[in-house]
Amino acid sequence: MFETVAQSVIHKPVKDVFAYVRNMQNQSIYNSSIISSEVMNGEATEYRVKIDLGILNLTETYVIQEIIENKLIVASCKSNAMTFTDSYEFSDSNGDCLLIVKDKMELKGLFKLSEGIVKMNLKTQMNQNLLSLKKILES
């Protein structure tokens, strides 16, 4: 298992950033590996996500496990190839939002052999996704 962290100050209030990120359907707009994200239940705590990892395409359930309004979102996904848990931490930074995104991932089976490459690519991708989110919210 490995953890990847990305962070950025987004020049919007915490409540605005939290609301946008909380709607996991928005992931397909700013996350380059999410092809689609559809709500599966009335509470909007389960999403069917289509993920394109380049070498592997998955359709899995992304489950929100914990929400602390305007502070924290924790969500996870389990598949035969991997398990990952994302945490989104929101805090005020002089009226703007400091967003810290952490991804804990465990690769399984033959996919585990590519951990070094996945780890390196994930850091780059997470930073790019956060920059994309920042541009969307600040425009």
Residues spanned by the domain of 21: 2-138
pLDDT digits (tens, 9 = 90+) for 68-120: 999 999 999 998 888 999 999 999 999 999 999 999 999 888 778 777 777 87
Domain count, the chain: 1
C-alpha–C-alpha distance, residues 92 and 70, integer Å: 9
In angstroms, the first-to-last Cα distance of the chain is: 36
Please name the residues in contact with 80: beta carbons below 8 A apart, sequence gap of 6 or more. Answer: 108, 109
115: CATH: 3.30.530.20
In degrees, rounded to 5, the angle at the alpha carbon of residue 30 between the alpha carbons of residues 26 and 33 is 100
- Each residue of 51-68: pLDDT tens digit? 987 777 889 999 999 999
Q: What is the pLDDT averaged over residues 31-54? A: 93
- Contact partners, residue 81, CB within 8 Å, separation at least 6: 56, 58, 107, 108, 109, 111
pLDDT of residue 109: 85
Name, in order, each residue with C-beta under 8 angstroms of 1's C-beta and a sequence gap of 6 or more.
104, 105, 106
**Count of residues in the chain:** 139
